Structure 1
Amino acid sequence: MTTTEQPTLDGTVPPEPVDYETWLAVVWPVFIAAAATGKVFTCYSVADEHKLPNPPKPQAQWGRLMTLLRDEGYIRTAGWACSDRPTTHHSGVRTWKGTAATRREAAA
């Protein structure tokens, strides 16, 4: 164990973060499926529901994921909500919704 690894409360050491591209391959299809439902969602709600792993740099890379999904035309902004992430103290976060093209693609 290196000096930066902290054991969890149960004494286990969390796994080393994977590289960004490997992480992206894991989470991408989950967010595409969430977008295909047509329901409004937050990044955290999808990640929490599916118990997705954090990226190597969570402070920047969750937002980057959402930007990539938007730029690729899978999602669009839907508004704002209070975050349900426990560590944010209900701060404002963007909400997302799958595009019509994403919903059509899922239906095909």
Structure 2
Amino acid sequence: MTATVQPALDGSVPEPRQTKTQRQAEDYEAWLAEVWPRFIAAAATGRTFTCYEIADAHDLPQPPNPQAHWGRLMTLLQDEGYVRKVSWACSSRPTTHHSGVRTWRGTAAARKAAA
């Protein structure tokens, strides 16, 4: 079965939409090694961010188990003293329909480590 494209009112056929493909890591440890420095750098800025904002800005791969591993990453960063919970915001991830997500901010220790 092939998908059909609805022509515009003037009869022209629009270009197919280009969707962003996202890599998915197969190994948790390799994924963690790739994304960890990006989140440490984000924490060092001291600004408030969501997990998705950092992942999207740096085109980071999905972990082997996205439902569990993104939250685990943020818990590890918090346990190591790099980030702290700030508040909640509406997600900018296109597939979440603006559901609530945790916001994070880097700690003074994260800013010192970057200096």
Classify the TM-score, shorter chain.
0.7 to 0.9
Query: What's the TM-score once normalised by structure 1's chain length?
Result: 0.83
Distance 2:24 2:99 in 1: 29
Give how far 1:15 is off: 6.1
- Picking from 78, 84, 107, the partner of 1:76 is 84
Indicate the residue corresponding to 1:94 in structure 2.
Answer: 102
Give how far 1:21 is off: 0.4
Please tell me whether residue 104 in structure 1 is matched to residue 112 in structure 2.
Answer: yes
Instruction: For structure 1, list consecutive stretches of 5 or more residues without a partner in the other structure.
Output: 1-8
Distance 1:16 1:35 in 2: 24
Equivalenced residues, count: 97
Identity %: 70
Distance 1:106 1:16 in 2: 28
Distance 1:17 1:36 in 2: 25
Return structure 1 stretches of 4+ with deviation > 4 angstroms.
Answer: none
Please state which structure has a larger fraction of its residues in helix: 1
Q: Is the 8 A contact 2:24 2:62 kept in 1?
A: no
Query: What's the TM-score once normalised by structure 2's chain length?
Result: 0.78
Distance 2:24 2:85 in 1: 32
Instruction: For structure 2, list consecutive stretches of 5 or more residues without a partner in the other structure.
Output: 1-16
Indicate the residue corresponding to 1:31 in structure 2.
Answer: 39
Q: Which secondary structure does the structure 2 equivalent of 1:65 belong to?
A: helix
